[in-house]
């Protein structure tokens, strides 16, 4: 059953305080009290940093594979991104635009958080101990669950929204742009066999000197 929200709650901006309130409202049975409490000290700056990181990650996705033209990397490294591109050729919406949409559409907000509450698929996310990393992964799930709800073809074709964002965050890192978001999700890429990433991408992101060497070889 969905959770009924007041008009004032619907109109409140989704900042760290509002986001944490929603997490407690929907996920208190899935995330331990200690982990939920650990989110409370996080600042609006941390939340804004992650929104900005996600926006930049999505911009990179929207330019894929053209964004690889002047890099040493092949599209074969990014298996989830390539699959999503094969089933949907349009740009993905920015993270910040999805936040604005959810702020003004309580039904869609409820749908996304309800899937997060009811699905057993996210168990490992809810076990993350580092507060900012837990926050980043919860923010990923909101985007993922909303897109799968409004675009049924994604679910039908087994599009991996979260993994695509994680791949593009890894690409940003390889191109010299480290981020809080990447540091929060890189462990999924390291676990490439279980999580469905390419082994080479996992190697490159864990051995960045190797990727620098590739760049030097290509440019020599």
Parse the chain into domains and list their residue ranges: 12-219
Give me the pLDDT at residue 11, please.
46
Q: What is the pLDDT of residues 33-63, one digit of tens each?
A: 999 999 999 999 999 999 999 999 999 999 9
Cβ(15)–Cβ(3) below 8 Å: no
Q: Is the pLDDT of residue 142 over 60?
A: yes
Tens of pLDDT, residues 158-195 = 999 999 999 999 999 999 999 999 999 999 999 999 99
Q: What confidence score (pLDDT) does residue 10 get?
A: 43
Which residues, including other chains, have CB under 8 Å from residue 191's CB and lie 6 or more apart?
Answer: none
Residue 210 clears pLDDT 70, i.e. is over it = no
Q: Does this model's pTM top 0.95? A: no
Q: How far apart are CA 196 and CA 211, in angstroms?
A: 21
| Alpha-carbon gap, residue 166 to 197, rounded angstroms | 9
Q: In this prediction, what percent of the chain has a pLDDT beyond 70?
A: 89
Q: From the DSSP assignment, how many helices (H) and strands (E) are in the chain? A: 14, 0
The predicted pLDDT at position 14 comes to 86
Mean pLDDT of the chain: 91
pLDDT, position 12 = 55
Cβ-proximal residues to 133 (8 Å cutoff; 6+ apart), any chain: 183, 184, 185
């Amino acid at each position: 059953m969905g959770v009924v929200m007041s008009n004032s709650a619907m109109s409140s901006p989704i900042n760290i305080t509002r986001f944490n309130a929603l997490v407690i409202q929907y996920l208190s049975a899935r995330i331990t009290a200690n982990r939920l409490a650990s989110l409370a000290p996080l600042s609006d700056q941390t939340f804004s940093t992650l929104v900005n990181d996600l926006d930049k990650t999505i911009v990179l996705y929207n330019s894929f594979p053209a964004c690889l033209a002047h890099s040493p990397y092949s599209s074969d490294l990014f298996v989830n991104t390539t699959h999503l591109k094969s089933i949907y050729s349009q740009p993905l919406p920015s993270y910040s635009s999805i936040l604005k949409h959810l702020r003004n559409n309580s039904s869609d907000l409820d749908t996304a958080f309800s899937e997060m509450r009811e699905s057993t698929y996210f168990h490992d996310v809810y076990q993350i101990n580092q507060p900012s990393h837990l926050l980043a992964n919860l923010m990923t799930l909101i985007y993922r669950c909303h897109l799968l709800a409004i675009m049924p073809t994604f679910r039908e074709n087994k599009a991996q929204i979260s993994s695509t964002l994680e791949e593009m965050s890894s690409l940003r890192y390889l191109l010299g742009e480290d981020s809080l978001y990447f540091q929060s999700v890189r462990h999924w890429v390291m676990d490439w066999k279980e999580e469905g990433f390419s082994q080479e991408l996992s190697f490159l992101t864990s051995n960045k000197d190797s990727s620098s060497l590739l760049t030097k070889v290509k440019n020599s």
